[in-house]
Structure 1
Amino acid sequence: MKILVINSGSSTIKFKLYSFEGGELHEVANGIVERIGEEVSYVRYRGRKGEIRYEAKIKDHEEGMSHVLKVLTDPEKGSIQDTGEIDGVGHRVVHGGSEITGAAIVDERVESLIKKYARMAPLHNPANLLGIRAAKKVFSRALHVAVFDTAFHTTIPEEAYLYAIPYEYFLKYGIRRYGFHGISYAYVCRKAAEILGRPLEQLRIIACHLGSGASVAAVKYGRCVDTSMGMTPLEGLVMGTRSGDIDPAIFYFLMKWEGLSADEVYELLNERSGLFGLSGVSNDVRVLIEEWRKGNEAAARALKVFAYRVKKYIGAYTAAMGGVDAIVFTAGIGEQSPFMRKLILSGLEGLGIKLDDAKNENPAAHGWVISRDDSKVKVLVIPTDEELVIAEETLKKVQELGGKR
Structure 2
Amino acid sequence: MSTAARGTRVLVLNSGSSSVKYQLIDMADEQRLASGVVERIGEPGGAADHTEALRTVAVELGGRGLGLDSPELAAVGHRVVHGGTRFTAPTLITDEVLAGIEELVPLAPLHNPANVTGIRVARELRPDLPQVAVFDTAFHATLPEAAARYAIDTATADRYGIRRYGFHGTSHAYVSRATAALLGRDPADVNVIVLHLGNGASASAVRGGVCVDTSMGLTPLEGLVMGTRSGDLDPAVVFHLQRVGGMGTDEIDRLLNKRSGLLGLCGDNDMREIGRRMAEGDKAAQLAFDVYVHRLRRYVGAFTAVLGRVDAIAFTAGVGENSAAVRGAALFGLDSLGVTMDPVRNAVRGHAARLVSADSSRVAVAVVPTDEELEIARDTYALAAAPQGG
Normalising by structure 1, what TM-score? Answer: 0.91
Counterpart in the other structure of 2:321: 335
Return 365-374 or 263-272, whichever deviates more: 365-374
Match of 1:397 in 2: 383
The match for 2:43 is 38
| 1:64 counterpart residue number | 53
1:323 CA displacement: 2.2
Q: Which amino acid aligns with 1:13?
A: V
Question: Once the 2 structures are TM-superposed, how far is the Cα of residue 363 of structure 1 from its aligned partner?
Answer: 5.3
Aligned to 2:369: 383
- Is residue 90 of structure 1 aligned with residue 77 of structure 2? yes
2:34 to 10, 23, 29: 29
Report which stretch shifted further, 121-130 or 230-239: 121-130
Contact 1:71-1:78 within 8 A present in 2 as well: no
Q: Quickly say closer, same or farther: Cα 1:358–1:302, change in 2 above 3 A.
A: same
| TM alignment of 1:305-320, pairs within 5 A | 305-320=291-306
Q: Which residue of structure 2 lines up, in the alignment, with residue 48 of structure 1?
A: none
2:306 counterpart SS class: helix
1:269 corresponds to 2:253: no
Q: CA deviation at 1:78?
A: 2.9
Residue in structure 2 matched with residue 13 of structure 1 by the alignment: 20
Shift of residue 83, structure 1, vs aligned partner: 4.6
Q: Secondary structure at the match of 1:198?
A: coil
2:20 maps to a residue whose letter is I
Residue 204 of structure 1 contacts residue 221 of structure 1 at CA under 8 Å; is this kept in 2? yes
- Partner of 1:356 in structure 2? 342
Residue aligning to 1:133: 120
Q: Which has the higher contact order (CA 8 A, sep 6+)?
A: 2
Q: 2:220 aligns with which of 228, 233, 247?
A: 233
Specify every segment of 5 or more residues in structure 2 that has no aligned partner in the other structure, as ranges. 1-6
Q: Does the aligned pair in 2 maintain the 1:83–1:141 contact within 8 Å? A: no
**Equivalent position SS for 2:358:** coil
Distance 1:391 1:282, change over 3 A: same
Alignment of 1:49-198 (within 5 A): 58-74=47-63, 77-80=64-67, 82-198=69-185
Deviation of the 1:282 alpha carbon: 0.7
Query: 1:343 offset after TM fit, Å?
Result: 1.1
Structure 1 runs (4+) greater than 3 angstroms displaced: 363-367
Deviation, structure 1 residue 86: 1.9
Contact kept, 8 Å, 1:363 with 1:370, in 2: the verdict is no
How far off is 1:346 after superposition? 1.2
CA positional deviation for 1:284: 1.1
How far apart are residue 315 of structure 1 and its match? 0.3
Counterparts of 2:68 and 2:233, CA distance in 1: 53
1:301–1:379 Cα change, 3 Å: same
Structure 2: distance between partners of 1:365 and 1:371: 17
Assess if the C-alpha contact under 8 Å between 1:5 and 1:387 holds in 2: yes
Over the matched positions of the two proteins, sequence identity in percent amounts to 47
**Matches of 1:113 and 1:36 in 2, distance apart?**
25
Which residue identity lines up with residue 334 of structure 2 in the other structure? L
Mapping for residues 199-210 of structure 1, pairs under 5 Å:
199-210=186-197
Instruction: Name the residue aligned to 1:47.
Output: none
Say whether the 8 Å CA contact 1:83–1:139 is kept in structure 2: no
Q: Aligned ranges for residues 206-221 of structure 1 at < 5 Å?
A: 206-221=193-208
- What amino acid does structure 1 have at the position aligned with 2:26? S
Q: In structure 2, what is the equivalent of residue 50 of structure 1? A: none
Describe the SS at the equivalent of 2:75.
strand
Q: Is the 8 A contact 2:50 2:121 kept in 1?
A: yes
- Which blocks of at least 5 consecutive residues in structure 1 are unaligned? 42-57
Does structure 1 residue 371 correspond to structure 2 residue 357?
yes
Q: What is the root-mean-square deviation of aligned Cα atoms in Å?
A: 1.4
